[in-house]
Structure 1
Amino acid sequence: MAESEEQQLEQVPEEETGPSVNYKPPAEKTIDEIAKTDAEDESLRKYKEQLLGNIEERVFWPNDPNKVILRKMSIVCDGRPDKEIDLGDKGQLKDMKFYVKEGAKYRIMITFNVQREIVAGLRFTNRISKGPFKNKEEYMVGSYGPKKEVHEYKSPEETFPGGLGLRGEYKVKSLFTDDDKNEILAWEWKLEIKKDWKD
């Protein structure tokens, strides 16, 4: 988001998908295919095991067919309790509203689990709007192998905008995708920037 009243939110076309990069995602391979490649090389086998863990144990929530299970999104500010959205509770997502203080430094944290297969190129995007102003934040979350323990991603530190013209309510449309642009979860929420914290 903009850092001061002078740095207004920029107009971002809705169809824009991020910076132009000549990146092509690699062909998707299953864990079984990766394990079988160079299986006779003992040191490579051990290295893969170290990276992937026990490949026989990779389905931890058998009733959930998804590879990525999003748990929660938090706004993390030093000296403040984290403000959280439970991403598993579809009923609360659209009605969730965070109150934050102008000029405060923050990070967005996403917690999630991965099961079944490796997921590549996870990406988290926020489209932010307030009246005619629009902005887009896009974060590369990375690639992960399955494990029962939760993964945490924290965005780089940013600053909420400040000044009378930039206070108020912002609508945020969030999207979590993978390398193949598969939609893992889309949700909407609101952010209200105030002169001081509201607990």
Structure 2
Amino acid sequence: MSSTTDQDELAPSQTPGYRVGEKKTIDEYASMDSTDESLNRWKASLGLGKSAGPQDDTRKVIILQLALEVPGREDVVLDLSSKDALENVKSTPFVIKEGVEYQMKVKFRIQHEVVCGLKYLQVVKRKGIKVDKTEEMIGSYGPNDEPYEKKVGPHSSIVNGHFMVEEAPSGMFARGHYEAKSKFVDDDNYTHVEWNWSFDIKKDWD
């Protein structure tokens, strides 16, 4: 399959009539009308910190890890913090037990400027055939020294996007090897990180 087709499969959906807002610097966001209560709440939700990030690292979004949280077990963690780590997850499939419920969570850092409308996109294939596509809104965030972690389920009070609780497929025909491709993009459709990975669905965890 061509790379152009792969990119089309990972393209975020478009909302009719939606227009990307004008980009502003951190100082511009801070100086916006302080008498507007709803605006102040929105600015507070961005978590504007004071860290601009190191000069030798121009990345705005650093995805540290993506994890599957499974009740009663340690998290299945994908380290995405470096180029070497991204290559490692490509060549090292992990195992998911058929039929288990799991929830995705992502840990990331924002530096240099506010990032608006961060989304997670994922396409899963088996034997070259697409079997699933995921698109989740992560939200808008400001630079901060501390990493953010996004894990939102159906019972959470947070409404700015979520990773839903999912159930792994089960049965003899569901077991096998799956290839996936994922990326994080923002409102400008700028890709901050993209990688390939794989997993095996088995009857048990071993």
Return the TM-score normalized by structure 2.
0.79
Q: Are 1:173 and 2:175 an aligned pair?
A: no
Measured after TM superposition, the shift of residue 70 of structure 1 is 1.0
Measured after TM superposition, the shift of residue 124 of structure 1 is 0.6
After superposition, the Cα gap between the structure-2 partners of 1:117 and 1:156, relative to the gap in structure 1 and judged at 3 Å, is: same
Aligned-partner residue type, residue 63 of structure 1: D
Structure 1, residues 122-150: CA drift from partner, whole Å, max 9, x if none?
A: 01111100014302111111111111111
- Distance in 2 (alpha carbons) for counterparts of 1:161 and 1:107: 14
- What is the correspondence of 1:78-157 to structure 2 with a 5 Å cutoff? 78-91=71-84, 92-134=88-130, 135-154=132-151, 155-157=163-165
After superposition, the Cα gap between the structure-2 partners of 1:36 and 1:190, relative to the gap in structure 1 and judged at 3 Å, is: same
Measured after TM superposition, the shift of residue 173 of structure 1 is 0.5
Q: 1:64 aligns with which of 48, 57, 60?
A: 57
- Indicate the SS of the match to 2:63: strand
- Distance in 2 (alpha carbons) for counterparts of 1:106 and 1:94: 21
Measured after TM superposition, the shift of residue 61 of structure 1 is 3.5
- Distance in 2 (alpha carbons) for counterparts of 1:169 and 1:184: 27
- Indicate the SS of the match to 1:148: coil
Between Structure 1 and Structure 2, whose CA radius of gyration is higher?
1
CA RMSD, aligned part only?
Answer: 2.5
After superposition, the Cα gap between the structure-2 partners of 1:107 and 1:117, relative to the gap in structure 1 and judged at 3 Å, is: same
Measured after TM superposition, the shift of residue 182 of structure 1 is 0.7
Aligned-partner residue type, residue 142 of structure 1: G
- Indicate the SS of the match to 1:190: strand
Ranges in structure 2 where 5+ consecutive residues have no aligned partner:
152-162
Ranges in structure 1 where 5+ consecutive residues have no aligned partner:
1-12
Q: Which residue of 2 aligns with 1:196?
A: 204
Return the TM-score normalized by structure 1.
0.81
- Distance in 1 (alpha carbons) for counterparts of 2:174 and 2:47: 47
- Distance in 1 (alpha carbons) for counterparts of 2:48 and 2:164: 32
- Distance in 2 (alpha carbons) for counterparts of 1:114 and 1:26: 19
Q: Percent identity?
A: 35
Aligned-partner residue type, residue 147 of structure 1: N
- Distance in 2 (alpha carbons) for counterparts of 1:173 and 1:44: 38
Mean Cα deviation higher: 139-148 or 59-68: 59-68
